[in-house]
Amino acid sequence: THFGFQEVDEQAKQGLVGNVFRAVADNYDVMNDAMSMGVHRAWKWFAVAQSGVSAGDSVLDLAAGSGDLSLKFANKVGPDGMVIVTDINAAMLAQGRKRLTDAGIAGNVDYCLVNAEKLPFEDNQFDCISISFGLRNVTHKDQALAEMRRCLKPGGRAIILEFSQPTNSTFRKFYDAYSFNVIPKLGELISDDRDSYQYLVESIRQHPPQEELKQMMLDAGFDRVRYHNLTGGIVALHMGYKY
Ligand code: SAM
């Protein structure tokens, strides 16, 4: 790959991912809007609508970054619920805390530096655990999925929003051209950081497509696993239950 990630060991990869997100934290929201032409807002809205989260629920948002989902969840769970906002990266978590605090959210949220591969929570704690545009950065995805299931209450749901594979082959060619040519250029223009965005594009390409991720969730023990393709499969929302 561009960074030679296939040759470096896993530990080093996690460090490099950390560097990428430290580098992009400040411009993260601007880039999200620029790269997706604003559509990421609709994908996130759909994920939260599908989550079934309601007043009084406890929610764990993994790889929360600047907290887009966390904020929506905090409004849904209300004063009797709880949202734990987490990320592996302190700079991104600080963005999330700022975003929620500026929106007047307090009292029903907590912030915690957490690696999605090893959750510092007891079994059966949460009604919903989400990871939005985060799983592709996790080295041991099977471990993260197993941890999500462990920490869900029986009846709880996992929500995975992630880039996926466009279902139409002509559209896929256009999309590949866009992501390989336009996104690194946008990164250069907006963040003066072509390499980080080149990495992001490559991480999207290497992420397991819809059916493969569905099977990984089944292997991790989730029930009733299903997914919705969004924007022609550029993104997929996977959901699974713990029974
Ligand atoms: N959830 C937010 C969203 O939907 O906009 C942020 C997504 S951002 C693209 C990916 C986030 O994953 C970054 O904030 C990064 O620090 C975090 N991340 C990467 N590896 C992680 C890991 N192993 N555990 C937890 N978070 C991780």
Tens-place pLDDT, residues 52-97: 999 999 999 999 999 999 999 999 999 999 999 999 999 999 999 9
Please check whether residue 14 is in contact with residue 21, taking contact to mean a CB–CB distance below 8 angstroms: no
Could you tell me the pLDDT band of residue 3, with boundaries at 50, 70 and 90? very low
Please check whether residue 230 is in contact with residue 37, taking contact to mean a CB–CB distance below 8 angstroms: no
Tell me the C-alpha to C-alpha distance, in Å, between residue 27 and each of 58, 173, 175, 196, 212: 30, 28, 23, 12, 32
pLDDT for position 6 = 39
pLDDT(1) > 50: no
Strands 109-113 and 82-87: parallel
CA distance 201 to 78: 36
Nearest atom of ligand 1 to the alpha carbon of 161 = 4
Could you tell me the pLDDT band of residue 20, with boundaries at 50, 70 and 90? low
pLDDT for position 14 = 67
**Spatial strand order in the sheet of 152-163:** 109-113, 82-87, 58-62, 126-132, 152-163, 235-241, 223-230
How large is the average pLDDT for residues 30-58? Answer: 90
Could you tell me the pLDDT band of residue 12, with boundaries at 50, 70 and 90? low
Question: Three-state DSSP class for 166?
Answer: coil
CA distance 242 to 154: 5
Q: How far apart are the first and last CA of the chain?
A: 39
pLDDT(43) > 80: yes
Tell me the C-alpha to C-alpha distance, in Å, between residue 186 and each of 66, 129, 179, 191: 20, 32, 10, 8
Question: Three-state DSSP class for 210?
Answer: helix
To test the pocket of ligand 1, the residue of 119, 133, 191 to mutate (highest count of ligand atoms within 8 Å of its CB) is 133
pLDDT for position 195 = 85
Percent of the chain at pLDDT above 90?
A: 73
- Is the model more confident about 220 or about 188? 220
CA distance 160 to 154: 18
What ipTM was reported for this prediction?
0.99
DSSP 33-97: HHHHTTTHHHHHHHHHHHH---TT-EEEEET-TT-HHHHHHHHHH-TTSEEEEEES-HHHHHHHH
Residue 203 in marked binding region: no
Say if ligand 1 is within 6 A of residue 213 CB.
no
**CA-based max dimension of the chain:** 49
Q: Whose Cα sits closest to atom 13 in ligand 1?
A: 65
pLDDT(121) > 80: yes
How large is the average pLDDT for residues 32-59? Answer: 92
Say if ligand 1 is within 6 A of residue 158 CB.
no
pLDDT(26) > 80: no
> Measuring CA to CA, which residue among 107, 208, 101, 226 is closest to residue 165?
208
Pick the CATH number of 10-241 from 3.30.420.40, 3.40.190.10, 3.40.50.970, 3.40.50.150: 3.40.50.150
Tens-place pLDDT, residues 158-183: 999 999 999 999 999 999 998 888 88
